A and B are shown apart, each in its own frame.
Chain A
Amino acid sequence: MADYEKRPPELSREVALLQERALEEERRGGPPAVLATYVRLQAGVATYVEWREKALCGGLAWLTPDSSATAQSQQERWTNGFNQAGNEAFRMLNDQVSRDDDPIEFTFELLAMQESASYAAIAGMPLAGFVGRVREHLRDFEKFRKDLDDRWKEIIGQDERIDGQIAGFRVQLLEMFKKAVADARGWAPKMESAVGTALLGWEKEEEPSPDPSLAPVAKTAFDTVHVLQQSLDEITRAALGLYANEQTIHTMFGSSRERLKEYLDKVNKKTVASAWSEACNAARDAANRCPKDGQKEDARKLAEQAIKASESIVAEFNDVFEDFYDHFEGTFTGKVSDETVELLVEQEFFNQFWKDIQSLNLPGEFQTAADQIAKCDDISLDRLTDEQRRRFKEIVRARLSTLEEEISKIDWSFFERFKLQFIDVPRGLLMDKIKRLVGYEE
């Protein structure tokens, strides 16, 4: 059974009407009706109808996109195809009556124009263009997926390279802290030894000075603290440069999210559904522009078949879209996930690093060293006279108290400041910025 069966009876009816009119003329005394003419015309109509059926059915194939289809190429196939069919229909119907006169010729001229108009209406259905457009989107998603996978690897790779450089600083820092602790732990024994050496001098001489033997020890302690402060400042400065680079990588990550958002704002399940709905409505409207009822019904059927044929690409798009969105959710789509933030900022690693530093208990070690230094005057002075004992203690006390005083005067805020500058603020800023990066969210 033919798919497009509503129009053919209208065409046959027109020929039958011509025949009836001719017979009526004959009955009224006009020229005899030549029945063979109408048999020929009906046969011609049947040939045309058969051709039309093939043309309409075949036209649906123009909806199937090839891999390189675009909206334009696909719509051109459809439009040109149906316009050419209309052209051919116009010619076929006019040729049927090339040897006939009015009213046959007039009727077939009208039929030819009606048919041509119906093909022109069908040619204007935009579903092929829609299908081609979705095919373009699908190709985009395929390419974007590969590009973004590669990009994510590159971003992480770049980030890790910078983190590697920062890790170098961390190792350096830890070593420095460990050395400072070791140094501090040595101050008291050294002082004790120095005091002992000074005492030996007192035992041998009347009025020797203890100063020369105590001074280098005090200087070592001061230098340790000073170098520590200076190194922390330098490392912080260098680290901030690397943080800026890291931030550049994060900015590029953010730009990619933003560009993808702009694209997905325009191309998503909703916009495609809406475009499809518009194309379906336009196809139905186009069918209604056919001049005759039978043509309208056949064109509506064709439109519904075209709509049905285009359903699969919408479903394919939805699947691809969802898969794409899920694949990148947390990185390039949706909110930036904690996992992504951690990958980019490595906050945990830094937290651990600080814990390691804290476990060295640098301020505590310094205080212990100071306390131990204070005990350096508890030394046996039995071999000294009372007067020597009093004066020796006075001198040692004076030197130790100066050292104690210097150690106790150390401003441990630099330690906190370092944490703030090296870890808390920059890492926090990076984290905060990454979390706030714009992206497409469903």
Chain B
Amino acid sequence: MSDDATIRLGTDLRSGVTTDGEIDSEPRGFRVTWIDWDSDFRRHLRINDLIVGVNGQSLAQFLQPGKMGKGVGQPGEPSYWADIGAKHNDSVALSVLRDSKPVTVEGRLHLEYFYYDAQGKTAMARGGPQRLANDGFDGAWSIWLEKFVFKLSVHFTTGWTQRSYNSRNELEWYIEQKPRIDLLLEKYPGPFADAMRDDWTKGMELARGKKADLGPAELEYRALGARRVEIAKAEATKAWPAALQALSGQTMPAFPAPSALDRAGAIGKVVELPAITMRSFLNDLGVSFAAIGSPSDGYYFVLLNQPAFRELYVVESRYRGQVNPRLDERYRFIARVLDDPQMFTVNNRPAMGLTVEPVAAMVGQDEAFIDLRTSPPRFAGEDVLSAFASIVRDDSSPASVIEAMIQAVKTGDDKTWTSLFAPWKVLSGKGGRTIIDPSYSADTSRFMSDWERSRRLIMGEVYDARVEKVEKVRRVLERSPENGLPNVDQVVVWVDHYGLFDGEYRTFQNINVRREWVLQRLDEGPWRITSIQSL
């Protein structure tokens, strides 16, 4: 830009870039937090780039406490440019780390710009708007731009990482700015208006969140305990009599149970047995079995180590994971009488009875019908209900541990969820050193409240949660056998939460959800979540 009536040049040489000095982490550098609309660096530099050098020279001299002022993007940068002999319109090459990869970015420096409009009033850009005018809006353009830049700078940098950031509130703010942007484009067309529109659009899209298509399978978990149970129950209600009908040629009345000594006519027959609870599950000399009957009517025994029962257990576990984790432990069996009389101790008395092999079972309050005649056995309604994607848990992967945590919250599996948290605590000593308490044991009440909160979230405003990114693994404590200390590695995993907004599933952030998850591992062991927190 040339010096004319609508633009005058100041005396300080500027890059038009704003940065934060980062000296607490490696590598050190100047993090780009904003690039002015009229900066030449807008062409190639990006917000969040880490500037580590200029023209091949390191900036390490400035990356120390109390010495950052002259760094690139800092208030005192004109002194630095002067020191290296740079002039207006000189091109400099910035050494930059972008997503940890080195990049060289060129841009021209410029003397400070002062804009005027046709009336010679100080303006935001050539031709206006005037800095102190408001064009009917609340607040002058100069104040608006200051706030606009501040907001967008935060949004583009740390916004989504801060718990205080509320993406949907910010989206509303962007929508509120639309009249200003429209007016700029209409009344003051030019590079400034275009830059404002581009920044506004980008910021608004960021606040709107990433879109995801969540199909019935992804959302099926929300019906856990309600619609899915109803579907399964309806299917079970039909399946039980159908199974009895199909076996009608082989059935006999269950009670009085045939005597073990006079069983020939009963062998191979099918009986419909009454419901039992866990109280009927007993152990005899180390063998587990269920006793169904009474001293007066006689007993049938279901051995729990028989293949049919093991298959039943597998399907039941699947039902708990897929439909209702709180399925009652109540069982009804349709079973085939075996030629295997047994004498077990039932209610402290020896009882003779015939063993039976379950052919089908109804588990819970007539909720899950499991047909053991099919191979592999399935529960009624399993074909109708969408199956959740199974998570293959790999504790050597931080992302996998977080995915397992999310899945556990979705399926109501509090045991798995609890097992994913670290039974140790790494903290920062008064002097900033990392210290570890290896015998740390978490307060169990914390587990309970955060678990319940997580469940409320996943059944409420959070429709899905996915791992967004995994940061680089850092070693926060070196192994020291003489002090009993293990290697401690730490990693941050960022999680996206999806909500439902105007019929679309989009990521969002607010005080209720936790995007940042810190995981640690000891001596290359399994990754565990370090702080008990809700989803």
Residue positions of A touching B, CB distance < 8 A: 80, 82-87, 89-90, 94, 98, 101-102, 105-106, 109-110, 112-114, 116-121, 123, 140, 144, 146-148, 150-151, 153-155, 158, 162, 245, 248-249, 251-253, 255-256, 259-260, 262-263, 266, 289-292
Contact = CB atoms under 8 A, between A and B. Distances in A.
B438 A252 contact: no
Contacts of A119: 439
B439 A86 contact: yes
A196 B22 CA distance: 143
A85 B341 CA distance: 54
A90 B484 contact: no
B286 interface: yes
B441 A84 contact: yes
Given A118-B484, A259-B286, A147 B345 contact: yes
Given A151-B345, A251-B341, A116 B352 contact: no
Nearest to A90: B437
Interface stretch (B12-20, B63-71, B426-434): B426-434
A150 B260 contact: no
B9 interface: no
A391 B433 CA distance: 140
Nearest to A162: B261
B84 interface: no
B345 A83 contact: no
B439 A85 contact: yes
Contacts, number: 126
B431 A259 contact: no
Given A102-B431, A105-B429, A147-B284, A256 B343 contact: yes
Interface of B: 260-262, 284-287, 341-343, 345, 348-350, 352, 423, 429-431, 433, 435-441, 481-485
Given A248-B261, A252-B341, A259-B284, A80 B441 contact: yes
A120 B431 contact: no
Given A252-B341, A260-B285, A263-B286, A105 B439 contact: no
Contacts of B481: 291
B485 A113 contact: yes
Contacts of B485: 113, 117, 291
A156 to B, nearest CB: 11
A155 B352 CA distance: 10
A140 B283 CA distance: 10
B285 A86 contact: no
Contacts of A148: 285
B439 A109 contact: no
Contact of A110 (B287, B352, B483): B483
B286 A154 contact: no
A116 B436 CA distance: 9
Contacts of B285: 144, 147-148, 256, 259-260, 262-263
Contact of B430 (A82, A84, A105, A253): A105
Nearest to A84: B441
Contacts of B437: 86-87, 90, 112-113, 116
26 contacts: A86-B440, A90-B437, A94-B429, A106-B431, A109-B433, A113-B435, A117-B483, A117-B485, A119-B439, A120-B438, A120-B439, A121-B484, A148-B285, A150-B345, A150-B348, A154-B352, A155-B343, A245-B261, A255-B343, A256-B343, A259-B284, A259-B285, A259-B287, A263-B286, A290-B484, A291-B483
B429 A109 contact: yes
Given A80-B441, A102-B431, A260-B285, A117 B484 contact: yes
A359 B528 CA distance: 87
B286 A105 contact: no
Contacts of A256: 285, 343
